[in-house]
Each structure stands twice: as structure tokens, then as C-alpha cells.
Amino acid sequence: MMDSIPALIEKTFPMPGRFRSSLPAQVAELSRLLTAGRGDRALSYLSRPHFLAAYLRYFLPWNLCRLCLLLPELELGLSDGDTITDLGCGTLTLVSALWISRPELRDLALEFRCIDRCAPALEAGKKFFTALAGNSPWKIHLIREDINVRRKNDTNRKEKPSTLVCAVNMLNEVYDNAPHNNTKEMERMAANIARIMHGHAAASASILIVEPGVPRSGQFISMLRSAFCEMGRPPIAPCTHTAACPFPGGKKRWCHFAYETSNLWFGDVPKELHRLSAAAGIPKERLVLSYLLAGPVMTDNAVQSVQKRARTSQAVRVISDAFPLPNNRFGRYGCSQQGLVLLTGERSRIEKTVSGSAAAPLFAENAQRDAKSGALIAEVKK
């Protein structure tokens, strides 16, 4: 289905030929405003037709690709009649990605509360989803609001609590306002975001955050993880444990996952999308993301039970590319109950232990630590 997305976007949002030649330049400018040029970006940037057109043709399909890699791996616990709240939903990317990547959900009567401050983006997203899904049983409610406006009313809303609360590529617009060296301010922001999302969620709900896979995202998500843990919502994924995060952020090491844009489960990324990326001067060979799935609220006893099981777990989440080691060995870094782990082994074995996968390596009784990183060394099983 993914290979047909560019054509569906063109059919749903036809662009006059006289504007097509300037599309790569608009994509490049929007990319600048979303990254290094954030300070030049107006809050209503997607209300401008040329930026919305660029977003729909470039950022929407790339973000669909990222989410369609992640969502099939997550236990979301959705059933008939459930409600999903999507904060800062933009063009309803999450809704469309769920439809594409989780076909077992398509016949369920799900209700989506899609909240964003930009009405044109909301309307475009609903139009695209209708073109994608046709006569779907999913109910889409568009709510035009700034997330911060809802802050004062979090605990007083009478709406039905949601089974799943999501924020996708939204939080970077929050924490980017904090100075890079102001950790306390970022922690305050993370605690506030966690409270807002928790306020939308049922006690039995899960909370999903997906952000660009850059160091600052990894740092903020680590802070969110701590905030949710304090609420009794332990991490479900990607964490294999409930101990302190071994990757609290930094330019050298942060929690993120990278995927090559070829040979994905849904096929290669559409050629049209690669061509537009190249024309805009921002070609992509890999899809990178950071994420957190926080679980239901647990009692103190239940949390202690989970922590006890995690302490005996040997599972390691792989979070890096493969790299060469001395003596014709290869390695990847991983996250575990023991902290940072260096997974080692023959090249073929390490290459098969891909980023994002959960490994069960062999820890020696007198396991050594890597002199360079301080990571506990473990051997990948055959």
C-alpha cells in the first residue's frame, strides 16, 4: 500500500502544473524551518498553502513510513469502541499509519480525537484519510486547539478517558523553546507534558510518544520516561526494564532506532518520494526515530513486581549500527537492566541483530567492561 501513497496524495490534493517546479524549493525551505530555522517559523506555518502542499507531498509520506515501521511492533491493546487521543496530530499521520500498518484494526469501531491548532492541516488530514480508508468505521473528531490551552482544564474535562494517548513529532516544538543547557527547564516541561497526556488517558491506557531520532529528542524522551514512572506508568517499549535510563541524552549516545529505506516490510520507499527528496537537496537513506510507549497505571505492589522481574531479565534492546572491533569482531550498543551493553560477535551475527530488536546475549559471570564506553560486554548467541 505504501508505494501508492504519493499517487493518492496527488489525486487528493491536485497541484497546478505552474506550481510544481517550485515544490522542491518549498520542501527545502519547510525543512529548514522545521530544523535549524525554527526561530523563523510562524506558529501557523501549515496554514500557508505552499507549505501545506510541501508538507503533504514530502513530510506526510516520510512520517507514514517511519510510523508504519514502528506501529506493528507495539502492543497497543485496542478493541472495539475504544478512543484514541492524538495531540498535535497535524495531518492525522498517526491515524493513517494505523490504518496502513495494522489491518486487524480496520473493522473496529474506533474513535479518534485529533487535536491541533492548525485547521487547514486537520482538514487536509481528514480528507487524506477518507481517500485512503473509504467508508471506514473509524470516527474522526477534529478539535482545533493549542495543547497548552487545555493545560488548566486537564483534570476537569468530562470527556471519556482514552485507551491510547499519542503525540507524534509534536513535542520537539515544546522542548526546543528551552535553552540547550537548561536541564531543569526541560525536566519541568517533560513533567508537564506527562501530566497533560496522563490527564487524557484512562488508568488502563497506554501513552505513545514518537519523535525525530536526534540527541535532544532522546534526552527529552528519557525525561518523559522518568515522569511517567513517577506516575506509576512503567515503560513498555523500547525499554526492556524499569531501571534508570542508561541514555539520558547526549550527542554521542542517545536512544534512537535507524532503518534503511530499502527492503522494509512494506517494500522500498516509493521512488517518487526519493526523487522529491533528492530534488530538494535532502536525500534520505535511513529512517530514524526515538519513541516511548508507557503502560497503564500500576499499584505500588505491581510496580515492584515488574521491577523484580526486570532485574532478572537478560534482554537487551539494540540501539546502534554495527561497528568494527579488534580481532575481526563487530559490535552494537544496547540498553538493558545492567545499563549500557556492548554486544559483540562475528560480523554476520552482529549484522543480523538489527537496530530495535531485542537480543538475549550471553553474559559471562565475570563480564568485563569496554574500556572506551564503560559498557558491559556480552556475546551475541548463535
For residue 173, tell me if it sits in a domain.
yes
Domain edge (last residue) among 304, 325, 358:
304
The grid coordinates listed for 352 are 543480523
CATH of the domain at 261: 3.40.50.150
pLDDT at 304: 62
The sign one gets for the Cα dihedral 64, 246, 220, 190 is positive
For residue 309, tell me if it sits in a domain.
no
Domain identity same for 212 and 334: no
Domain edge (last residue) among 242, 276, 304:
304
Predicted confidence (pLDDT) at residue 305 exceeds the cutoff of 70 = no
Domain identity same for 318 and 296: no
For residue 337, tell me if it sits in a domain.
yes
Range of the domain at 347: 314-379
Other beta carbons within 10 angstroms of residue 364's beta carbon come to 10
Is-contact 294 30, C-beta < 8 A? no
pTM across the whole model: 0.91
Domain identity same for 286 and 209: yes
H-helix or E-strand containing 358?
Answer: strand 358-359
Tally of residues, the chain: 382
Domain identity same for 174 and 258: yes
What is the per-residue pLDDT across 202-226, written as a single tens digit (0 to 9) for each? 999 999 999 999 888 999 999 999 9
| Average pLDDT taken over every residue of the chain | 88
Q: Which of 82-86, 234-238, 264-268, 313-317 has the lowest mean pLDDT?
A: 264-268
Q: Which of 30-44, 102-116, 199-213, 253-267 has the lowest mean pLDDT?
A: 30-44
Domain identity same for 106 and 219: yes
Domain identity same for 184 and 231: yes
Domain identity same for 268 and 338: no
Domain identity same for 294 and 328: no
Domain identity same for 211 and 327: no
Is-contact 68 2, C-beta < 8 A? yes
Domain edge (last residue) among 257, 280, 304:
304
Mean pLDDT value of segment 336-341 = 88
What is the per-residue pLDDT across 242-268, written as a single tens digit (0 to 9) for each? 888 888 766 677 889 988 887 676 777
Domain identity same for 352 and 334: yes
Residue linked to cell 508504519: 68
Question: Which of 353, 355, 354, 240 is CA-nearest to residue 289?
Answer: 355
Confidence of residue 24 (pLDDT cuts 50, 70, 90): very high
Q: Which of 120-129, 189-198, 299-308, 339-348 has the lowest mean pLDDT?
A: 299-308
pLDDT at 382: 65
Q: What's the domain count of the chain?
A: 2
pLDDT at 155: 47
Q: Say which residue, 363 or 304, is predicted with more confidence.
A: 363
Mean pLDDT value of segment 282-294 = 92
Domain identity same for 33 and 116: yes
Domain identity same for 243 and 360: no
Burial of 57 (0-12, 13-18, 19+ CB in 10 A): buried
